[in-house]
Chains A and B, each alone.
Chain A
């Protein structure tokens, strides 16, 4: 199968659709709103409470940060409106249908990444590691073949070079390892149940008061 053909038989879900799928597998996501206009974004922000994050979301938008499609720490209605107008204007025809995604701005010092990947040699595997925009550069990750059990999932966390970061850090409690393990087991179930899912990225999986919350997610499907 040529790379071109492989691309042609895959499609990505929008961030909002990705989160709906993950929620079915017990991955807790940030409570966000999908809206079409700047006015609706302001209304949503008012309901969620400031500060908020605004992003451009669409089925064909994969790397939002790189394209400047994420606006953080918007403190009031004027900022939300300005950001929303800019984001909508930044959409290009290739993006297809787009929408605005408004979410409360979570504060956390620790970010994980979890994912599912279909390896050409070993098939479906589950990953956990330290996430955020530097995830690929830091590359402190551990893989296992799906399905995994709780022992495997705990050992994945032990495998991380910087595993000490999972303990209490700068006044924040230790990461609730069982909660992260539950996320990994959820991904493992998804890997088994859904052969049409080619890959999953949850990055970052923020650790808020010790608990993992998915802030961004990207699911790739076989068509």
Chain B
């Protein structure tokens, strides 16, 4: 099954050679100002023009009062529309005449605004169709494309580049996910707030992302689904190509409409949606954090080949709690193979746990952690590793440096050593994963409590995701395993 919209057509929206902002304002609180500001300050290198009533320049960008004033030799592919609904029919016609292939409409007053609005929206969709313009929105917050350094949105933030492709029926969830991307360092390829999704719908964007080399995982927020069967069929095509994480909003309703059958009574919207996700290979997240955790993990870790997890920890309690979480999940806390036990024995004093979780119990020396990570990853009985304890020494180092004895050469030497070691461990986690082709996840609350700590800071520098808790890492890894298993069982290798 081919995508509904040919992927090449999306280039006008996500890789535009030039952008026109329609309805530019000089007032910094107005959308028509904010959109222009965000486009010109976040690194976009294509041509930028605006329309307003007076011409001149705003933020150094040339303004035109009519599209005929635009220079003929500058290619413009995308119009970002901040004008009122009443102006948009004429605007789209002029844009089409100028060769513009895509329009993002922030304008309100359409489908969300009563019968008249719905009529205007239907007319707009028909017009865009006739003109051959890809129409995003209306009533959306914007579009982001980091490969093009494009931040065409009326909200913040602009995320770091990365492999997550976002499509959302709620603009503010685009912001939420991008905020998580900023704080975790795991970045975004493309993002779009679908607004009323009058013409382009969530599956349209996801199909494009699936064909997009910059996108490794789709992340979608959906509420109402107009045609459930088509959503299912198209989502299944998407998941054959890349993982797709979906967060579903909307209250669940019981099956009160079909009292004659037990099956009908049990067929709540949520249960049917959940079954549809399992069948389509969609990764359904329970909440916003889980949605981002999981997308970030898909984006930065290889898929596990099996469910067997080893926990490597320098702190006993964390290992125990993580083992509990694994036991409750569809993952498996693997029993340590004898050969691995012997190999670790050679590197650690006898007080280490000698089982999984592999609790080093403070017996580690300078090189132990990278060596143990490598040994564990090399074991054919282990499919994935969760590594805990990153950043503990650097946390103390911070107190030493900031305390009143900071600056003492002896103290500074130890501070530097601790931070070097944590940075090394974080790099080892990434390198071991790279070399073995197995997921190696890190988790510490320092990712939130002290993002500058050398542990989580280095995880970010390696392009990986440091989970704020081990439980969240387990939940994300479980989703990776379910998706890997979905592919294995259906011969999608």
Residues of B within 8 A of A127 (CB): 263, 266-267
Which of A62, A113, A143 has the most chain B CB atoms inside 10 A of its CB? A143
Q: Are A125 and B267 in contact (CB under 8 A)?
A: yes
What count of chain A residues pass the 8 Å CB interface test?
36
A179 part of interface (Cβ distance < 8 Å): no
Residues of A within 8 A of B267 (CB): 117, 119, 125, 127, 143
Q: Are B232 and A113 in contact (CB under 8 A)?
A: no
Q: Given A119-B228, A136-B265, decide whether A199 and B260 contact each other with a Cβ distance below 8 A.
A: yes
Main secondary structure of the interface of A (DSSP, over half): strand
User: Chain A, 209-223, contact with B by CB distance < 8 Å: what is the 0/1 string?
Assistant: 000000000101000
Q: Are A122 and B272 in contact (CB under 8 A)?
A: yes
Q: Are A145 and B263 in contact (CB under 8 A)?
A: no
User: Chain A, 52-68, contact with B by CB distance < 8 Å: what is the 0/1 string?
Assistant: 00000000001000000
Q: Are B278 and A144 in contact (CB under 8 A)?
A: yes
Q: Given A117-B258, A151-B490, decide whether A129 and B266 contact each other with a Cβ distance below 8 A.
A: yes
A115 part of interface (Cβ distance < 8 Å): yes
B328 part of interface (Cβ distance < 8 Å): no
Q: Chain A's nearest CB lies how many Å from the CB of B166?
A: 24
A201 part of interface (Cβ distance < 8 Å): yes
A142 part of interface (Cβ distance < 8 Å): yes
Which of A117, A135, A141, A199 has the most chain B CB atoms inside 10 A of its CB? A117
Q: Are A201 and B228 in contact (CB under 8 A)?
A: no
A 112-149 contacts with B by CB, 8 A: 113, 115-117, 119-123, 125, 127, 129, 135-136, 139, 141-145, 148
Q: Chain B's nearest CB lies how many Å from the CB of A129?
A: 7
Q: Chain B's nearest CB lies how many Å from the CB of A168?
A: 21
Q: Are A143 and B262 in contact (CB under 8 A)?
A: no
**Which one of A33-41, A98-106, A152-160 is at the interface?**
A152-160
CA distance A116 to B279 in the complex (A): 16
Chain B residue at smallest Cβ distance from A143: B275
CA distance A200 to B81 in the complex (A): 51
Q: Are A121 and B225 in contact (CB under 8 A)?
A: yes
* A10, A116, A120, A121: the one within 8 Å of B263 (CB): A116
Main secondary structure of the interface of B (DSSP, over half): helix
Chain A residue at smallest Cβ distance from B266: A141
B261 part of interface (Cβ distance < 8 Å): yes
Which of B276, B279, B489 has the most chain A CB atoms inside 10 A of its CB? B279
Q: Are A119 and B272 in contact (CB under 8 A)?
A: yes
Q: Chain B's nearest CB lies how many Å from the CB of A142?
A: 6
Residues of B within 8 A of A218 (CB): 260-261
Residues of A within 8 A of B260 (CB): 10, 12, 62, 199, 218, 220
Q: Chain A's nearest CB lies how many Å from the CB of B260?
A: 6
B 236-269 contacts with A by CB, 8 A: 255, 257-258, 260-267, 269
Q: Given A113-B263, A115-B263, A199-B264, decide whether A121 and B275 contact each other with a Cβ distance below 8 A.
A: no
Q: Chain B's nearest CB lies how many Å from the CB of A70?
A: 15
B351 part of interface (Cβ distance < 8 Å): no
Q: Are B232 and A145 in contact (CB under 8 A)?
A: yes
* B263, B269, B490: the one within 8 Å of A199 (CB): B263
A 1-30 contacts with B by CB, 8 A: 3, 10, 12
Chain B residue at smallest Cβ distance from A141: B266
Q: Are B274 and A117 in contact (CB under 8 A)?
A: no
Which of A119, A127, A201 has the most chain B CB atoms inside 10 A of its CB? A119
Q: Chain B's nearest CB lies how many Å from the CB of A57?
A: 16
Q: Chain A's nearest CB lies how many Å from the CB of B9?
A: 29
B 199-253 contacts with A by CB, 8 A: 225, 228-229, 232
Residues of B within 8 A of A117 (CB): 255, 258, 261, 263-264, 267
Residues of B within 8 A of A159 (CB): 275, 278
Residues of B within 8 A of A156 (CB): 275
Residues of A within 8 A of B262 (CB): 113, 115, 135-136, 201, 203
Q: Chain A's nearest CB lies how many Å from the CB of B396?
A: 44
Ranked 9 nearest A-B pairs via Cβ: A115-B263, A143-B275, A122-B228, A121-B228, A199-B261, A117-B267, A117-B263, A201-B261, A144-B279
Query: Can you name 23 A-B pairs with beta carbons within 8 Å?
Result: A3-B257, A10-B260, A62-B260, A115-B263, A117-B258, A117-B267, A119-B272, A121-B225, A125-B272, A127-B266, A127-B267, A136-B265, A141-B271, A143-B267, A143-B275, A144-B278, A144-B279, A145-B275, A152-B279, A155-B279, A199-B263, A200-B261, A201-B261
Given contacts A117-B261, A155-B278, A200-B261, 17 further A-B contacts (CB under 8 A): A115-B261, A120-B257, A121-B225, A122-B229, A125-B267, A127-B266, A136-B265, A141-B266, A142-B271, A145-B232, A155-B279, A155-B489, A159-B275, A159-B278, A199-B260, A201-B261, A201-B263
